[in-house]
Structure 1
Amino acid sequence: MTVKLVVIIFIVTYLFLMTEKWNRILAAFGGGISMLVIGAYSIDQALFQYIDWKTITLLFAMMLIVTMTSKTGFFEYSAIKLAQMVKGNGVAILLIFTFLAAVGSAFLANVTIAMLLVPILFTLIRILELPPIPYLISMILACNIGGTATLIGDPPNMMIGQAVEHFTFNAFIVNLMPVAALVLGISMLLLTLLYYRQLTVSEEKVEELSKLNPKDYLKKENGLVVSLSVLLLVLIGFSLQSYLHLDVTTVAIAGAVLLMALLEKRYSPDEILREVEWGTLFFFMGLFLLVGGLEEVGIIDEMAREILMLTEGDMKSTAFVILWGTGILSAVVDNIPFVAAMIPVITEFQEFGMVNMDPLWWSLALGACLGGNGTLLGSSSNLVIVGLALKERVEIKFTSYLAVGIPITLISLSVSTLYVYFKFLKPFL
């Protein structure tokens, strides 16, 4: 009976998340708590076995750092400066913001970059009277592609990095940044061909942009130098974690506490903590609890066996099934809960005799991050951008996005298939 209830709770929760008929935070956390109520596991198991506190803490720390850094105006300054450098050219602005979103998502997490860049983008769109949809769609695609490149870029990567000990910050850069850069280049080319006719700017509007002074947006009194210095130190700490023998979560939380201490006279800790996206953190906790129910009743083990039976334990087939299966499903549902479900599945493979699991983990990361571009429901950053657009009374239609998102996703997964084969599988096989 418990197994049936677990499956029902899981399916119902996913339907709420997909249809957005209920607040996604309440849906996820409600589903997780329901697992406790029906006795799928004990409260001790929930708190100490199924909630991944390292991932939650890493997200929390990065939120603190970016919240304080964003108050300095550095991001606004950079965006306006770059727009002026290209003299308000609509296509160039599209490419610059796509590139900025991708690079920023790699090092500051794609949800954070979306929240920082979209308001700036709307400022420029209003000044230059440009159509917002091409820029918003490009931003969605870039956030997911850029987030693929590093451990902290996309929540699924954070979760995988916490699950596999030898997957360091540098390991993600070495193994995923090349394919992410290739996919980004292809996507930027396709977006340019698709939208260049819509992005013409009048000379009058270019003149208006040229009158803006980017330095007016910088707020040195808000701790500009201190914030950027600590952010840089944290990024350096991530890249040197194998030499420092420190976990990325330790580096991030140490950096967050240091920055709060240095800026205490300007921002009280209470003020900064109020601005943390607590809803996102509770959403994660709910998903961990939800997937914990599946794991506790043995459904995860059964999924692992079914995949192995389908691929007959062949490494190449298993990697490609994970890559495409994850990519397609991550397009339909938020990639975070799916990765949370797949991590214990892949872990189970080792118990069934498979060796060299790295190709499977990298396939999972690529499928989850790049598959998130398939639909507007594919990743958290997609939903953040949709929400920010609605605040500006701009609606990104689900079907209109599909016309761009699905082709880009299929191309991305095809490129990733070749990359996984030649980079990870061929040397091993």
Structure 2
Amino acid sequence: MDVILAAVIFAVSYVFIMTEKVNRAIVALAGGMLLLLTGIYRVNDVFLHYIDWNTIALLFSMMVLISITERTGLFSFIAIRFAQQVRGAPVPLMAGVCVLTALGSALLDNVTTVLILVPIVLKITKQLQLPAFPYLLAVIFSSNLGGTATLIGDPPNIMIGQAVDHLTFLSFIIHLAPIAVIMFIIMLAILLPLFRKRLFTSVSNREKLMEMDASAYLVHSPMLYKSITVLAMTLTGFILHAFLHIDLTVVALTGAILLLLLTEREVSTEKVFSQVEWVTLFFFIGLFALVGGLQEVGIIDELARGIVLWTEGDYVTAAILILWISGLFSGIVDNIPFVAAMIPVIEEFESYGMVYLDPIWWSLALGACMGGNATLIGASANVVVAGLAEGEGEKLSFLRFMLYGVPFVLLSLIIATIYLYIRYLIPYMA
């Protein structure tokens, strides 16, 4: 009975999130509350085990950092200078945004990257009177593909790296970066021609852009230098966190609290907190609670065990099936809980005689990261982009995003299957 109840609550909540008739944060929280009221789990369970407070704290910290830094005019300065470099041309602008997002997502992590870049992208599109949707779509796709390439780029990769000691930062680059680059090039080849005719701005808008003095938007005050310094230190901490043995969340919280202390006289904490995207944070909390209900009744675990039974321990079948199941499932729920459920299952594959598990781990990572492009709730970065856009009056439609996301994920999984087969499975069978 609990299994049916949890599945129904999740399905109904998901339908309401898709139709966008009610605020998605309210829907997700209401779904989690129903799970509590029906006794699927207890309050302690959802708060201690299912809500990923590390992710919530990381998002909150970066929102605080960006809220303070934005007051200095730094992002407006970067936005104008970047747009001026491509002379306001819409298509080169999209290509540049994609490259910056992918690189940032690989070197930092995709959530941090979109938190920094989306406000800049929205400022540029408003200045040039361009439709924001194509650029936001490109940012989401690029962030998930860039995050696929490295250990720290996407939460699923971090979880896999922590579970498997011999998979190092360099291992992820060697094995996942090539397919991430291939998919990134294919993405550009699809999106740029697809939106070319819709990306138009008048000559007068471009001329106004070129005449703008970007430096005039900078507020030359101590807060500017404090913000740049702390933001740079925080981003450096993200890059070096594996060597420093400090958790990403601790780095982000340290940076946020330090900047709050340093700028407290210039901007009140109340004003900073008022600009935090609380709707996005509470949506995450509700989403974690909803997925926690599926975990509590064993639906996700049964799905994982079903993979083992279906493949009957066959190495090649298991690798391909894990790629597709994780890819498709990550589009429906956030990829973090699915990867958490799959890690112990893959570790048990050794009992089926599978000694060399690396290709299986790469299948899980590729499916989880690339599958996140299917829907607006498929990956953490997607939710953040949607929240930031909504805060600026540019609402991303769930269904409209799916029309582009689902076909792209299917294409990604087909190409990833070919990549896995040629690079790992054929040599294994030989």
Distance 1:107 1:280, change over 3 A: farther
| Structure 2 match to 1:81 | 81
Shift of 1:399: 7.5
The answer to whether the 8 A contact 1:156-1:368 is kept is: yes
Q: Deviations over 1:203-238 (max 9, x none)?
A: 544322210111122223262332232222223323
RMSD: 3.7
Amino acid in structure 2 at the alignment position of 1:143: S
| Structure 2 match to 1:251 | 251
| Structure 1 match to 2:26 | 26
**Alpha-carbon separation, structure 2, partners of 1:246 and 1:284:** 24
Instruction: List aligned pairs for 1:97-112, cutoff 5 A.
Output: 97-106=97-106, 110=110
The answer to whether the 8 A contact 1:169-1:248 is kept is: no
**Alpha-carbon separation, structure 2, partners of 1:133 and 1:276:** 22
Shift of 1:59: 2.6
SS of 1:220's equivalent? coil
Distance 1:257 1:428, change over 3 A: farther
Structure 1 gaps, min length 5:
none
Shift of 1:183: 1.9
Shift of 1:360: 4.1
Shift of 1:174: 5.8
Please, which of 344, 351, 363 is the counterpart of residue 347 of structure 1? 344
Distance 1:278 1:421, change over 3 A: farther
State the identity as a percent. Answer: 46
Q: Deviations over 1:38-81 (max 9, x none)?
A: 22333333332333333332333233223333333333322321
| Structure 2 match to 1:183 | 183
The answer to whether the 8 A contact 1:163-1:343 is kept is: no
Amino acid in structure 2 at the alignment position of 1:238: F
Instruction: List aligned pairs for 1:144-223, cutoff 5 A.
Output: 144-150=144-150, 153-154=153-154, 176-196=176-196, 199=199, 203-221=203-221, 223=223
Distance 1:148 1:349, change over 3 A: closer
The answer to whether the aligner puts 1:372 opposite 2:372 as a matched pair is: yes
| Structure 2 match to 1:317 | 317
Q: Deviations over 1:109-163 (max 9, x none)?
A: 5566556655544554455455555444433432333343456655655666677
Aligned length: 426
| Structure 2 match to 1:265 | 265
| Structure 2 match to 1:2 | 2
Q: Deviations over 1:299-339 (max 9, x none)?
A: 333222211112222343223222222323444x3x41x54
SS of 2:327's equivalent? helix
The answer to whether the 8 A contact 1:136-1:385 is kept is: yes
SS of 1:11's equivalent? helix
TM-score by length of 2: 0.81
**Alpha-carbon separation, structure 2, partners of 1:16 and 1:151:** 34
| Structure 2 match to 1:96 | 96
SS of 1:240's equivalent? helix
| Structure 2 match to 1:413 | 413
**Alpha-carbon separation, structure 1, partners of 2:337 and 2:164:** 13
Distance 1:230 1:87, change over 3 A: same
Structure 2 gaps, min length 5:
none
The answer to whether the 8 A contact 2:106-2:146 is kept is: yes
Distance 1:355 1:368, change over 3 A: same
Shift of 1:14: 2.5
SS of 1:281's equivalent? helix
Shift of 1:200: 5.9
Distance 1:357 1:63, change over 3 A: farther
**Alpha-carbon separation, structure 1, partners of 2:252 and 2:390:** 32
SS of 1:41's equivalent? coil
| Structure 1 match to 2:279 | 279
| Structure 1 match to 2:227 | 227
TM-score by length of 1: 0.81
The answer to whether the 8 A contact 2:326-2:338 is kept is: no
Distance 1:302 1:90, change over 3 A: closer
The answer to whether the 8 A contact 2:78-2:120 is kept is: no
Distance 1:363 1:81, change over 3 A: same
The answer to whether the 8 A contact 2:62-2:256 is kept is: yes
**Alpha-carbon separation, structure 2, partners of 1:93 and 1:220:** 28
Distance 1:349 1:272, change over 3 A: same
SS of 1:223's equivalent? helix
**Alpha-carbon separation, structure 2, partners of 1:228 and 1:169:** 27
Distance 1:132 1:256, change over 3 A: closer
**Alpha-carbon separation, structure 1, partners of 2:144 and 2:373:** 7
